[in-house]
Amino acid sequence: MKKIVFLVIGLATIFGLTCNSSSVKQAVVIQKDAPKKMQDFVINISKYTRNFDNNFIIIPQNGEELAYTNGDISKSFNENYLKAIDGFGIEELFYNETFKPNEYRIGILQKIKDQKTVLVSEFVNDTTFIKDAQNKNENEGFVSFIRTKENYHYSIIPEKIHNENSNNISSLREVKNFLYLINNSNFYSKSKFLEAISNTNYDLIFIDLYHNGVLFKKEEIDKLKQKKNGAKRLVVCYMNIGAAEKYRNYWKRDWTLGNPSWLKKKYDGYENEFWVEYWNKDWQKIIYGNDDSYAKKIIVAGFDGVYLDNIEAYYFLYND
């Protein structure tokens, strides 16, 4: 993900100078437009969901370059994009197993943090790194969630909560900690899953729309909006908009790579997932804009917002 913008522009320049093939030119045009298409996608999701709830929270994960016009950090901020979102979710900023600070990304986020909340999920391979990871983020004004090797896939509720408090949380700006729990495989029943979360004091919760294929109900989500100590908190739903997953309810049995045509590329490390041409109207209809869309199900279930994953599809569709 490092220096995505420069790589995309650089490739476009190379192709433009060395090849006159119309097919190559078309591919380059799509690649150059890819960041803007993702910006437009997120903006449209925001507009749709906020028709139902003016305060609906939108948090894209990664792809922080999209804060800028056409995803180009040398240009001005994309104000329409920034108005459409409430914060940025970031993975592995200071720690990726060990201390590996990504100075490029840190620099971008330092310019954004005064406008938008930055939520960072760090990954450490040794529990002795947890405190330093928390401190590094706190010094920058970022809110952190630290996961260990056992929690790589976001399936465990950590015992200790950093910056635990009894504040009522009604906006992302008030959040001092968060729980990232999108994998509920450790909880054999929905009731046990809900009970475990209810017995915590996290300010913000990220969970999936389903537990073992069963949708969460509004009354269940409403109960999660209260911390164990009685204060209010936010509950936000995970939604993958840059890749399609075979275990989702929208997946058809005859689908495979290239069928539909917008299933474009295998997702390395996840055999049941495919990068998509996210600007395709059929894919976007799955995500938002109608009563059967994923976003509408999230709204009906009563979530406070949505956490948008695989924003970086604008890069990974074209690069390893």
pLDDT tens, residue by residue, 294-316: 999 999 999 999 999 999 999 99
pLDDT band (50, 70, 90) for residue 78: very high
pLDDT tens, residue by residue, 145-155: 999 999 999 99
Q: Whole-angstrom Cα distance, residue 192 to residue 73?
A: 45
Residues 155-163: contacts with CB within 8 Å, 24+ apart?
A: 155/181, 155/183, 155/184, 155/185, 155/186, 156/181, 156/186, 157/181, 157/196, 157/197, 157/200, 161/200, 161/201, 161/202, 162/134
Residue 105 has pLDDT above 70, yes or no: yes
Task: Tell me if 81 sits within 8 A of 40, measured CB to CB.
Answer: no
Q: What is the rounded (10 degree) CA torsion for 118, 66, 305, 201? A: -10
Residue 31 has pLDDT above 90, yes or no: no
Q: Whole-angstrom Cα distance, residue 81 to residue 75?
A: 14
Residue written as token pair 């947890």: 130
Name the CA radius of gyration of the chain, rounded. Answer: 19
User: What would the two tokens of residue 256 be?
Assistant: 């495979």
pLDDT tens, residue by residue, 61-76: 999 999 999 999 999 9
pLDDT band (50, 70, 90) for residue 36: very high
pLDDT for the residue 32: 79
Residue 228 has a CB neighbour count (10 Å cut-off) of 12
pLDDT tens, residue by residue, 185-220: 999 999 999 999 999 999 999 999 999 999 999 999
Q: Computed from CA positions of residues 52, 56, 60, 65, in that sequence, does the dihedral angle turn out positive or negative?
A: positive
Q: Whole-angstrom Cα distance, residue 295 to residue 313?
A: 19
